[in-house]
Every structure is written in structure tokens, then in C-alpha cells.
A and B are shown apart, each in its own frame.
Chain A
Amino acid sequence: MRFATLRTLGFYALVLVIVVQAVFPFYYAILTSLEDGQALFEVNYFPATLNLANYRAMLTEGVFGRQILNSVFVASVVVVISLALAVSAAFALSRIRFRGRGLLLLTILSVSMFPQIAVLSGLFEVIRAMGLFNSLWSLVFSYMIFTLPFTVWVLTTFMRNLPVEIEEAAIMDGASPVTIIRRVFLPLMWPAMVTTGLLAFIHAWNEFLFALTFLSTDSQRTVPVAIALISGRSEFEIPWGNIMAASVIVTLPLVALVLIFQRKIVSGLTAGAVKG
């Protein structure tokens, strides 16, 4: 009896540790964002004041609103193009027999093994040559270097696990390859697509290095860089309140997306359990 209680207690203590560790930084960011200049530097764990001034400042002054739109644009376009390309590629890689298929898959995966910094200077030249410097398309282009390998890889694996007979039944039913992808595969792949799409979105949303390098003007920047470059009135002042408010603002869309697609993600993670 006592032992059981102890065990339950221990279990919840452990849960508490994990929750605190995961949630506390974010909680502290929210806390900080709600405080103004002076209160900031007093360490407290509960909101002393509820001051939305930092939010108001971020959203009305300067180009932060514009920068959020930049991020939304880049991340959405990256997701849409990546998924469209990845679905077609996955179809070919999982369903059509051709020479060098395994090698191609490995190559695709190995692309994602390079650290970003390794390709940075080369990529910079490419983007300059294409005339994309300081254009949001430079980010769309460069982010796909990292989103495509894993979307292709995950969707290929997923599609491989779909029974071939379903596709053959569709062939017997007279469906063209495009119809098969659209009417048979896509509906079955939603969970996998939502999951990979979300990961791609988060990646594009949070990316820093390329965004810092390929964009040079404030109005073109995406939010991670914008936040990092928020500066105070003087060299010595770091406006933590503003930074935290901005951080909270840009995290909310991600939280919202995850909540919306929650159920799909769960079923996406147990993918492969698709059975006729």
C-alpha cells in the first residue's frame, strides 16, 4: 500500500520535472514580455503587472508586422512546393522500378547531412547569380535544400507501406497515374503529409542562418533574424521585453498549427497502420 503511494508520488514528481523543464522557458518568456522596463530586472515567477505595452510596441512600431508576413509567405510556399514535389517524387521512388533508385534515395538523404554552414558560401553565389539576393524567393529556394530530403524520404517510406494491390486495383479501374495519386494516394497520405508539412513549416519558420545571409533590408527579413536584430536605444540596452513579446507572437502560429493538426499528427506518427 505505502509502496504503491510512493510509486505514484515518484511518477508524478518525474512528470512535474519534465513539464517544468519543457514549459518553464516559454513561461518565463511570456512573463517577461508582460513586464515593462523596471519590473524586468526583478526576478519573479508570477506576473507582477499585466502590461501589453511590449506587444503594442512590436506590432505598431517598425516593420515587425511586415516581417511576420514575410515568414508566413516563405514557410507556406516552402511547405506547398516541398509537398507537391515530394509526393510526386515519392510515387516514383516507391512505385516505379528504375535503375539507380536506391542510390538516388541515398543521395537525397545525404544532401541533408551537410551542415548549413558548409553550403552557405556556395549557395550565396548561386543566389546572387540567379538574382535572388534580398528576395524572399532566395529563402524559399534554399530552405527546400533541407525540407525536400526529409519530406521525400518520409513520404517514400510511407507510400511504400501502402499496399501495392490498392494501386493495382485503381489501375484495373482505369485510373491514370495522376488520378491514382490524387484520388487514392493523397487521401491515404494526409496524416504523413500533415506531419512532414508541419515539420517543414517549423523548420522554415525558425531558420536563422540563411535568412541572415541572403536578406539585407529590414523590410525583407523573416522573424528569427528580426528578433535577433531588435536593438535598444543604446548599445548597452537590450530590450528584453520587446524581444520576448516578439518571440511569443511568432511562437503562437506554430502552437496553433500543432493544435489544429494534432489528431492528424498522432495518426501520422503511427503511419503504416493503413490497412485495407
Chain B
Amino acid sequence: MATVELHKVCKRFGSVEVLHDIDLALDRGEFIVFVGPSGCGKSTLLRLIAGLEDITSGELRIDGQPMNDVLPAKRGIAMVFQSYALYPHMSVYENMSFGLEQAKLSKAEIDRRVRAAATMLQIEELLDRKPKQLSGGQRQRVAIGRAITRDPRVFLFDEPLSNLDAALRVDTRLEIAALSKRLPDTTMIYVTHDQVEAMTLADRIVVLNAGHVEQVGTPMELYERPASLFVAGFIGSPRMNFLTGQLAAAEGAATYGIRPEHIALSETAGDWPGQVTLTEKLGSDTFVHVAADGIGAINVRVEGRCDIAPGTRVFLTPDAAAAHRFDAAGRPIVRAAP
């Protein structure tokens, strides 16, 4: 059953339309991630759902009720902002209780909820501190705690991890995953442009491009069956290799796509001869950049360590079953069943 539904939602700023006819239905308890390049409208879409921006046309429903004209606080939504947006002059406790006070809950109930959220996020010792006395990770937790106390139906996150350092980002990502397991009835909508966050957290990913929904699906669906050239290029790291020209034409496509991990590299024999130009060693993997003769630059992922020197002649063999073919409009060409 859907909690959040959008029908033909458009958003215009002045004369610029930044979201075009968005249709989405999100199930209760789902973890949904919006991804897309910078400026594609992810934050705007989130803010429309939150009620911080007006919907220009179209309809938004939450639990079946039209929400277009409902005040943000009455939508059963909580939001975690990128910059945390804690109230600097209030203690952690007051930050978390402010919204409940506005909702005119009893003192006892407020206290119960704040302490429950604090326990869940392990920030009980911080309740008396001011935000400026907290580390970035602790602030992030308080921001999440403030959202939890409101007991929302829908949880919105706008790039909540982008201000954290890499190690903390991984920890917090795991905590958010755990949180969504603990709140099985709460729908989570999470905006990011980090691939890894999207792939690991999402039940379903919504890929946005220039104000359109490009594709909606589980992370594996997007990875294995991208519905467009754009999605194919956007999902997966490092990027899928796109080859055009003769090679693609021979396959009956305008663009031939093959992921770096679906190419075998050999120093003795293979389909595409070429020369190594650069290797990037990550420890667990090595990315080998190859200039393939008559084809172009191809990135190959080799598991583990690979001490191949630039300039070496190598041979590449694509895994034909994992290749993607796209027509001139960027749509996938479905392989006829054999």
C-alpha cells in the first residue's frame, strides 16, 4: 500500500520548470533513495513532499489524503537537513522537544519521547549540551533524534551525511540502515548523490535527471537492467564503458555499454587488443585504463592487486551476457530471447 503518491507533479520557479510530471508511488516502510546529478531537482522534490515549497501543479497524497494545501507540520513528516539546522541557542533536549511543544503534547509525554529517542540514538549524556558543544556526528544524531520524536509517517533526509568525514559517513550510514529496520512502518526518503549510499540503503532507487524520473527500481534492477543510457552511466562505480562507432554498429546498437567489472584482462589473448595507459590501485581492486586499438579508452576492473605496467600490451574480453546495447535515443535494446 502506498504512503506517498505523486501524480503529475510539476514545480516551476518563475518561468523555469524544474520538475516535470513526476509520478511516483512509495510503499509504506520503504526506504527510497533519490539520486541524480547536481541540480536535477532532488532537493526540490523532497521539499515539495515536506511542504516547504508549493506544488505548481499535480497532486501529492500521503496515506490517501491530498496534501497539497496541508501545512508541513500537519503532514506527519519529519526532515533531517544537510546542515542539521539545529537551534543553536537551545540545548539538545530543547531541540528535540521544541516540535512536540508546538504540537501541545503533555510535559510527561514530551519527556518520554525525547528520552526514548535519545536512548535509541545513544545521545542521553548529551541532552544538556548546546549544539556548538557537539561534534559533527553527534549533531547529526541530534538532528535525527529531533525527527524521530515527532513519530513521523515519512522521514525525509537531504544529503544527511555530506558534512561528515569518510569514516563517520560509513558508520552513520549503517546506523541509518539500522534505524529504518527499527521503524518498519516509517517510509524513508533519502536524497544523495553518493552511489554507495544509494545502493546500500535503498529498497528502491529513484533516478532523477533534469527534472524527470529516469527510472525507479531496486538497486540490482538499476544495475542489471538500466532503462536508459543515463541510468547505465549513473549507477555503478566506476562508470560503465560506453563504446560507439563500428563496434556498437556491429552489435546493432548506437552505443555499446560494458561495465569495468565485466571485462576480462589477459596478457596473452582476447577479443580487443590494446595498451595500458594507467592503473589505479585501491588495494581490493585495481582499475586498469586501456587504450583499445580502434575502439577507444576502456576502464577494466581487476580484482585484487595487479602490477601491470603502463605501456604493456593487453587483451580484453567482454562478458557478452553482461553487455548493454542502447539505440540512438539512449533506450536499451532488449536482446531477443535465444
> Could you tell me which A residues sit within 8 Å of B by CB distance?
163, 165-166, 168-175, 179, 183-184, 187-188, 274-276
Q: Contacts A172-B79, A276-B84 hold; do A183 and B139 have CB atoms under 8 A apart? A: no
Knowing A168-B81, A275-B132, say if A174 contacts B103 (CB, 8 Å).
yes
One of B50, B88, B98 near A274 (C-beta < 8 A): B88
CA distance A163 to B81 in the complex (A): 11
Q: Does B86 contact A (CB under 8 A)?
A: yes
Q: A174-B72, A183-B98 are in contact. List 17 more A-B contacts (CB 8 A).
A: A165-B85, A166-B85, A166-B88, A168-B81, A169-B86, A169-B87, A170-B98, A172-B50, A172-B52, A173-B146, A173-B150, A175-B102, A179-B102, A188-B88, A275-B88, A275-B132, A276-B83
Looking at the assembled complex, report how far the CB atom of B165 sits from the nearest CB atom of chain A, in whole angstroms: 18
Partner of A276, one of B71, B74, B77, B88: B88
Nearest Cβ on chain A to B96's Cβ, whole angstroms? 10
The reply to whether B88 and A172 form a contact with Cβ atoms under 8 Å apart is: no
CB distance from B168 to the nearest CB of A (A): 17
Contact indicator B72/A166 (Cβ below 8 Å):
no
Are the C-beta atoms of B98 and A163 separated by less than 8 Å? no
With A184-B87, A274-B88, A276-B139 known to touch, is A171 a contact of B73 (CB < 8 Å)? yes
Whether the Cβ atoms of A169 and B102 lie closer than 8 Å is: no
A183 to B84, CA, bound (A): 18
Q: Contact at A172–B99, with CB atoms within 8 Å?
A: yes
Residues of A within 8 A of B139 (CB): 276
27 pairs from A and B in contact (CB 8 Å cutoff)? A163-B83, A165-B81, A165-B83, A165-B85, A169-B79, A169-B85, A169-B87, A171-B72, A171-B73, A172-B50, A172-B72, A172-B77, A172-B78, A173-B98, A173-B99, A173-B146, A173-B150, A174-B71, A174-B73, A174-B74, A174-B102, A174-B103, A175-B102, A188-B89, A276-B83, A276-B84, A276-B131
Top 5 nearest A-B pairs (CB, nearest first) are: A174-B73, A173-B99, A165-B85, A174-B102, A169-B85
Which A residues are CB-close (under 8 A) to B50?
Answer: 172
Q: In the complex, what distance in Å separates the CA atom of A200 from the CA atom of B295?
A: 74
- Whether B85 lies near A276 (C-beta < 8 A) is yes
- Chain B residues numbered 86-113 whose CB sits less than 8 Å from any CB in chain A: 86-89, 98-99, 102-103
Q: Please, how many angstroms separate the alpha-carbon atoms of A173 and B73 in the complex?
A: 6
Q: Residues of B contacting A168 with CB < 8 Å? A: 52, 79, 81, 85
Pair A173/B102 contact, Cβ less than 8 Å: yes
Number of interface residues of B (CB under 8 A): 27
Question: Complex: how many Å from CA A163 to CA B86?
Answer: 10
Q: Kindly provide the distance from the CB of B11 to the nearest chain A CB, expressed in whole angstroms.
A: 15
Chain A nearest CB, measured from B188 CB (Å): 16
Q: Which residues of B contact A170 (CB under 8 A)?
A: 87, 98
Q: Give complex CA distance A187, B102 in Å.
A: 17
The residue of chain A having its C-beta at the shortest distance from the C-beta of B98 within the complex is A173
Q: How far is the CA of A188 from the CA of B146 in the complex (A)?
A: 20
Cα–Cα, bound, A173→B86 (Å): 12
Q: How many angstroms between the C-alpha atoms of A166 and B102 in the bound complex?
A: 16
Contact with A along B192-228 (1 / 0, CB 8 A): 0000000000000000000000000000000000000
Chain B 52-78 interface mask (CB, 8 Å, partner A; 1/0): 100000000000000000011110011
Complex contacts, B131 vs chain A, CB 8 Å: 276
Query: Chain A residues with Cβ under 8 A from B74's Cβ?
Result: 174
Contact B88 A171 (CB under 8 A): no
CA distance A172 to B46 in the complex (A): 13
Q: Please indicate which of the listed interface residues A166, A170, A173, A184 has the most CB atoms of chain B within 10 Å of its own CB.
A: A173
- Given A188-B88, A275-B88: A174 touches B99 (CB 8 Å cut-off): yes
Give, as a whole number of angstroms, the nearest-CB distance from A11 to chain B: 35
Q: How far is the CB of A241 from chain B (nearest CB, A)?
A: 49
A171/B52 in contact, CB under 8 A: yes
Separation in Å of the B97 CB from the closest CB of chain A? 10
- Least CB distance, A13 to chain B, in whole angstroms: 41
